[in-house]
Amino acid sequence: MSNTYYDPADLKKFGDIADFEPELAKKFFDYYGDVFAEGALTVREKSLIALAVSHAIQCPYCIDAYTSDSLQKGSTEKQMMEAVHVSAAIRGGASLVHGVQMMNKAKKLSM
Amino acid sequence: MSKSLQAQDHDLANHATQLKILSNGIFVDGKLPTFKKKLEPLSEFPLKPTSIEIFQVNVGYMCNQVCKHCHVAAGPDRKEIMTRETMEQCLEVLRNTKIHTLDLTGGAPEMNPDFRWFVEEANKAGVEEIIVRSNLTIILANPKYHDLPDFFKKNKVRVVSSLPFYQADKTDRQRGEGVFDKSIEALQMLNAVGYGKEGSGLSLDLVYNPSGAFLPGDQTSLERDFKKELKEHFDIEFNSLFTITNIPISRFLEFLIRTENYEDYMESLVNAFNPAAVKGVMCRNTISIDYVGLLYDLDFNQMLVL
C-alpha cells in the first residue's frame, strides 16, 4: 500500500477497475468514450468542461489528465484558466446562494 | 536568441549520447516495450522499405530561428551547408529515376546560396513536385528574401510551413520572440501571390506540432480551428494542416530531460502506437540526404547518424 491516498501512477491503472468487475467497467468505459467523442460539442470544448468539473470535484487524477488533454486538443492556458474560474464561480455561487436560505431563516426567527 | 546545443558544447549535441539515452533506461528495465517488440506480433519486423517516392534533401543546418523542439538543432551558428557539387549529384539521381517528389529542408533551406538554382534545375529535371519546408520568417529576414513568394510561385513549389499555433504566445514560446507576427506577415505575402487560394494550384500547407511535452490532438479538429482563427483575425487562407509529433531527439530531448517529462512522454508515445500506421511510415518511401550527400532512410535517422 502507498503512504498517500493519491499516487500519480494510479491514474494509468484506471482500466484495472475491470479486474474486479469487468462488465460494468466495460459499460462505463464504452460510455466514457462516447461521451468524449466529437458531437454537438467539439472534443476541445468537452475537454475544457471536463477540466472545469475536475476542479469542482477536486480530483487530482482528472486535473492532470484534462490539463494534458486540453493542451493536446489545442486549448490555450488562458482558456483553461477561464474554465477553472467557471468552476470556482459555480462553487462559490453555490455557497452564496444558500445565503438566501440563511436570510429566510434568520428573518423568520428574528423580531 | 539562444545558441544551438553544438555552440553550447552540450552533451546532447552528440548523437551517440542521445542514442544511449533512448536505448537504455525505461526500454531495458522492462517498463516500456521496444519498437521491435511492438512490430513482431504484427509480422512487420524488420520494417522494410517499399520504393523511393520522396527524395528529401537537407541543404544545410543554418537557420534564422532557434526553435526549442528542433530535431536538427538548427540555428544561425550552424555552418553545415550543402555545396552545388552535392546538389548536382542529387539532380543526377532525380534525372535518372522515377522519384516524383523533391522535399527540401534544413535549417532554413532558402539560406543556402544555391537554393534557387537547385529548385530551378530540379524543375528542368522534370520532378513532379518540389516541396520547400519554409519557416516563413525567412521571407522577412532580409530584403533579398522578400521575393521568395514570387520565386516559389514561378517554380510551382509547394510550400509547407510550421505554425505551432494560431496565436502569438504559444508560437513564440516555441519558435522565438516575434516569430508569430512575422509568420503571419509571410503567410499574407504568400496568400497575396495566390498561395492557399482556391483554384490557384499553389499549395500552402501548415504544420502543427505541440508546444510542449504532449502529443498532438486530432488533425481535423485542429485544422478547423486554425482555418477559422487565421481567417477571422488575419484573413489568411491555407490548404491543409498536418499535425506532427515532436520527436524525442536533440533539442526536444534536452527539454524533456531538463523538465523531467522524458519518461511520461515516452510512455505516451508508446501508448499511442498505432498498428495501422506501420505500413505508411515515412522511412519506407523516403530517402533522406544530408548536406554532404550521405544517405539515410529518414531525416530523424540522419540526425542520429543511423
Share of chain B above pLDDT 90, in %: 80
Q: What is the pLDDT of residues B68-78, one digit of tens each?
A: 989 898 999 99
Residues of A in contact with B210 (CB under 8 A): 71-72
**Given CB atoms, is A44 within the 8 Å cutoff of chain B?**
yes
**Given CB atoms, is A91 within the 8 Å cutoff of chain B?**
no
Q: Find out whether B107 and B132 touch, Cβ atoms under 8 Å.
A: no
Q: Given an 8 Å threshold on Cβ–Cβ distance, is B218 in contact with A73?
A: yes
DSSP B158-178: EEEEE-S-SSHHHHHHHH-TT
Q: What is the pLDDT of residues A39-72, one digit of tens each?
A: 999 999 999 999 999 999 999 999 999 999 999 9
- Alpha-carbon distance of B305 to B296, in angstroms, equals 8
Q: What is the pLDDT of residues B23-44, one digit of tens each?
A: 988 998 888 999 889 999 988 8
Residue-averaged pLDDT of chain B: 94
C-alpha cell at A91: 462553487
Query: If you search the block for the grid coordinates 498532438, which residue do you land on?
Result: B216
Torsion sign over Cα B209, B215, B219, B223: negative
Answer yes or no: is pLDDT of A24 > 90.
Answer: yes
Q: How confident is the model at residue B247 (pLDDT cuts 50, 70, 90)?
A: very high
Residue ranges of domains in chain B, CATH in brackets: 11-303 (3.20.20)
Query: If you search the block for the grid coordinates 519557416, which residue do you land on?
Result: B135
Q: How confident is the model at residue A2 (pLDDT cuts 50, 70, 90)?
A: low
Residue ranges of domains in chain A, CATH in brackets: 36-109 (1.20.1290.10)
Of all residues in chain A, the one with the smallest CA distance to B223 is A74
Answer yes or no: is pLDDT of B282 > 90.
Answer: no
Q: 3-class DSSP state for residue B25?
A: helix
Of all residues in chain B, the one with the smallest CA distance to A44 is B221
Share of chain A above pLDDT 70, in %: 98
Identify the pLDDT of residue B1: 67
Q: How confident is the model at residue B106 (pLDDT cuts 50, 70, 90)?
A: very high
- Alpha-carbon distance of B75 to B77, in angstroms, equals 5
Q: Find out whether B196 and B236 touch, Cβ atoms under 8 Å.
A: yes
Select from B149, B128, B148, B147 the least CA-distant residue to B194.
B149
Q: Given an 8 Å threshold on Cβ–Cβ distance, is B221 in contact with A68?
A: no
Select from B143, B54, B149 the least CA-distant residue to B103.
B54
What Å distances lie between residue B90 and A67, B65, B145, B207, B299, CA to CA?
46, 26, 24, 26, 16
- Alpha-carbon distance of B272 to B104, in angstroms, equals 29
Q: Given an 8 Å threshold on Cβ–Cβ distance, is B225 in contact with A72?
A: no
- Alpha-carbon distance of B137 to B150, in angstroms, equals 16
The set of residues, in sequence order, having a beta carbon less than 8 Å from that of A9 and lying 6+ positions away, is none
Query: Chain B interface, mutation test: which of A67, A71, A75, most B Cβ atoms within 10 Å?
Result: A71
Q: What is the pLDDT of residues B194-246, one digit of tens each?
A: 999 999 999 999 999 999 999 999 999 999 999 999 999 999 999 999 999 99
Q: How confident is the model at residue A1 (pLDDT cuts 50, 70, 90)?
A: low
Max CA pair span of chain A: 62
Q: At what angle do helices A77-109 and A60-72 cross, to 10 degrees?
A: 140
Of B165, B167, B217, the CB nearest to A73: B217
Select from B23, B66, B65 the least CA-distant residue to B15.
B23
Q: What angle do CA A44, A49, A52 make, to 5 degrees?
A: 130
Answer yes or no: is pLDDT of B288 > 80.
Answer: yes
Q: How many helices (H) and strands (E) would you count in chain B?
A: 12, 8
Identify the pLDDT of residue B162: 94
Q: Given an 8 Å threshold on Cβ–Cβ distance, is A72 in contact with B216?
A: yes
